[in-house]
Chains A and B, each alone.
Chain A
Amino acid sequence: MRINILTYKYLKSKRDFIKRIIIFLFLILISFKSFSQANVYVLKAVYLEKISRFIKWPEESLMNDIDKPFIVSVIGKTPLAKNLEQIYVIQKINNKEVVIKRISNLYEIENSHILVIAESEKKNLQNILSITKDLPVLTISEAPDFAKKGVLINFYEEDNKLRFEINETAVLQSPLQMSFYLLNSAKIINPIKIN
């Protein structure tokens, strides 16, 4: 039965199958426990899409409109930007074409779905956060203490493994909604205090 269904599916969409094999191989690559320093940015770039699965943008972000692109802005200098541009040529986020924008001005932040904040923006962080605080923008950083300061998700490395931390209070205050599953797999910073 299983074989029949498989054969049927195989015959139905051969192209789909080939596409799957490519993704499969790619994912095997990123599933390795340990990774080289060069690869960590690839992983981060891939994680961006994965994290997006657990985030719900509000209506104003036009997530249902497939024709509108998914905008990932990168502020500051980071090798991640290049990796993002490479990966999201084909890869879609939430079925939307992805546009990677490198920005330097704060006013460019609006309309972004994800804002990647480079470590170089450390001094400007409070300004950036004051803008993103009320916007439906998922802020992601890759510097220590950035989460503590108000960035929603921050990558860090532990035991040679890429991990991320989440500022729960900041997520709660943001117009974004984050799935519990994501919290489950992350390190929680500033947990919500229930009084």
Chain B
Amino acid sequence: MNIFQNLSIKNKIISIILFVSTLTIVIGFVIVGIRDVKRLKQEMLLNNLMNTKLIGEYTIAPLTFGDNAGAENILSKLSTIPEIVSGALYDHNGVLFASYKKNDEVFIPPLFENPDVLVKTISQFADRSLNIDNPIVYENVRYGIISIQVDTSMLIKKTGENILILAIILLGMIIFSFILANRFQKIISEPILELARLTRKISDAGDYDVHIERKTNDEIGVLYEDFNNMLNQILNREAARDLAEKNLLKAKEKAEESDQLKSAFLANMSHEIRTPMNAILGFAELISMSDSEVSSTEKENYVKLINVSGNNLLRLIDDIIDISKIEAGQIKIYKKKCYLNETLKDIQQSFIELRKINEKENIEIRLNELAQSQNLIIKTDIIRLNQIFTNLIGNALKFTEEGFIEFGYEIVNNEKLLFYIKDTGVGMDQNKKDLVFDRFTKIEDDNSRLYRGAGLGLAISKSLVELLGGNIWVDSALSAGSTFYFNIPFDELKESNRKQKAISISENYDWQNKTILVVEDEPANIIYIEEVLKATKAKVLRASNGKEAVDIYIKNSNNIDIIIMDIKMPVMNGFEATRQIKNLNKNIPIISQSAYAMQGDIDKGLNAGMTDYLIKPIKPKMLLSILNKHLNNLAPND
């Protein structure tokens, strides 16, 4: 069996066919041979019986008339049958009457005992001979006995010859079946070998983009088809893998690039943070000097510079928070009703204020006609829109030395609302137009750090515009100013009978008999708010965390008119404190303080029961306006 298993398929098929056919032929031949021998024997017996009987009958007359010579003559005819060795004729008394011996040899036939007993033919095969004793009877009269001896070596010889012939035929048939098997085994082995060759080729060359042609409809055909399917699957998988690999490579490159950018950004950042920090610390030290060394006007100037640097630092940190939120996909858009024109006017107002700080009072900040005259209400995320404008206008202010900054909107069609911010600043090269929106890209090279900033503003703006569902682009030429455009979906809300509320923007509030609770864990912020509120003569209570705020409120519940609540505080946060206070008095207005990026917190606060919110950094005007709104119960009932 082991030898068989080591054979090739071709040889296996051939040997199986040969084995089966040889076995069949041999079995057939053995059966035929045995039958043949039997038949030969039978034939011999019958032939000789017939001969014996015939000869016997011929001898009836000679026996009758005692014609020995005639009998001898008849017996001598036995010589024509070469296999008969001898013959003897006895009369009815058992006395030898005539005899025959092949080749005229001397023959002494045996005596025949008891001839009476022999009433029928007796034939028996002895060693190498067949003996036939036949009674000669005619008309019920017994005339004698004829006894014949036949040499069976002829039979053996003949059988041997037959066997030899059969063996030769067998050999011929085996050779013939070998030739046929060798030819027809290809029908089975060839497709398998072809498959094997192809598989070898594939494994050697690693090329799966091949195909094996199906030729038959049997199992091998099915195997071919399955093989082709498998190859296709491998190909598809390879293609998918290649694609994934490509994507991964791309992602890796991007990650590396991003990593590089981040490193550069960090380096930048530390510098950016250090610069205003140095200024703040430096000027703070100068201020702490005695009046003799630094004049009070100089000190006032230093305070201003500290303020500017602090603002820069704050903006920088806000930007960093924003960009990381955007990158982490954590920025969510909360669309709500927006009185667009009021919002834009507020922005204009705040930048008019801001340019003073940047010492760019010569630059005119205009709002376009449409924005001033129309009264458009849209649904969008006010905070994000505000942020975009703040960034873009801030940017424009930064790069403009003289001239104007104009911003506003145009209604392009029913679907898009186009905003623009136009300046008369330095402008930029054509090839930088797309780059400016990339993160960490700044308009100036490293050698001339003319314009401060981390290079995040435009990237943030781009991301926010896209989050709102629009596009941003810039139209600019070097030294010819720039115009930034962005659009957002125009989702107009109709409000026919909106009350025109004239909010008096009086700079002078008088809240002499009002009590304001400021909940803030950062002492500097409390001092800032107290400073702002000093002019209103309002009474200010302090709490450094939520727990303290609740306690104070319980003590002075009737006196406190409004609460300004920070969110993140130790012991108890703003949400919990708000809930508890609101449980005590649901009418008490509570204003939360929150950063730009904490829209989620604002909503959470409003859900907790907060009445309104202030966005950090808190501008004095904004603080006063909001407090005024709620102290005079002017809040619109949305």
A residues adjacent to B (C-beta < 8 A): 1-3, 5-6, 9, 24, 27, 30-33, 47, 50, 53-54, 162, 179, 181-182, 184-186
Query: Are A181 and B60 also in contact (CB < 8 A) when A33-B68, A53-B139, A53-B141 are?
Result: yes
B58 at the interface (CB under 8 A from A): yes
B interface with A by C-beta (< 8 Å):
57-58, 60-62, 64-68, 70, 91, 93, 113-114, 116-117, 138-139, 141
Which residues on A sit within 8 Å (CB–CB) of B114? 2-3, 6
Give complex CA distance A6, B65 in Å.
28
Total residue contacts A-B, CB cutoff 8 A: 46
* 4 additional contacts (CB under 8 A) given A5-B117, A47-B65: A24-B93, A50-B64, A54-B61, A181-B61
Contact between A185 and B67, CB atoms less than 8 A apart: yes
* Complex alpha-carbon distance, A76 and B200, angstroms: 120
Report which of B58, B64, B67 forms a contact with A53, defined as CB distance below 8 A.
B64
In the complex, what residues of B have CB within 8 A of residue A2's CB?
A: 113-114, 117
Q: Which B residues are CB-close (under 8 A) to A5?
A: 117
Determine how close the nearest CB of chain B comes to the CB of A183; give it in whole angstroms.
8
Q: Is there contact, CB below 8 Å, between A185 and B117?
A: no
Given known A-B contacts A24-B93, A53-B139, A53-B141, A185 and B113 have beta carbons under 8 A apart: no
Q: Which single member of A6, A31, A185 contacts B116 (CB below 8 Å)?
A: A6
Chain A binding surface SS class: helix
A48 to chain B, nearest CB (A): 12
Leading 10 A-B pairs by shortest Cβ distance: A185-B61, A2-B117, A31-B66, A181-B60, A181-B61, A2-B114, A50-B64, A184-B61, A185-B62, A182-B61
- For A31, list chain B residues within 8 Å (CB): 66, 91
Contacts of B91 in A (CB 8 A): 31
B65 touches A50 (CB 8 A): yes
Q: Which of B61, B66, B116 contacts A30 (CB 8 A)?
A: B66
| Bound-state Cα–Cα, A179 to B91, Å | 20
Contact across chains for A185 and B66 when beta carbons are under 8 A apart: no
List 12 contacting pairs A-B, 8 Å CB cutoff, sorted by A. A1-B117, A2-B113, A5-B117, A24-B93, A30-B66, A50-B64, A53-B138, A184-B58, A184-B61, A185-B62, A185-B64, A185-B67
CB distance from B142 to the nearest CB of A (A): 12
* Residues in A whose Cβ lies below 8 Å from that of B62: 185
Nearest CB in chain A: distance from B434 CB, A: 133
In this complex, which of B61, B93, B114 has the most chain A Cβ atoms within 10 angstroms of its Cβ? B61
For the complex, give the distance between the alpha carbons of A54 and B63 in Å: 13
> CA of A53 to CA of B93 in the docked complex: distance in angstroms?
19
A184 to B62, CA, bound (A): 8
Which residues of the partner chain B approach A47 to less than 8 Å between Cβ atoms?
Answer: 65
Closest to B119 in A: A5
Q: Is the CB of B65 within 8 A of A181?
A: no
Return chain B residues, CB-CB under 8 Å to A33: 66, 68
Q: Which residues on A sit within 8 Å (CB–CB) of B65?
A: 47, 50, 162, 185
Residues on A with beta carbons closer than 8 Å to the beta carbon of B67: 185
**Among candidates B70, B93, B139, B141, residue contacting A185 with C-beta atoms closer than 8 Å:** B70
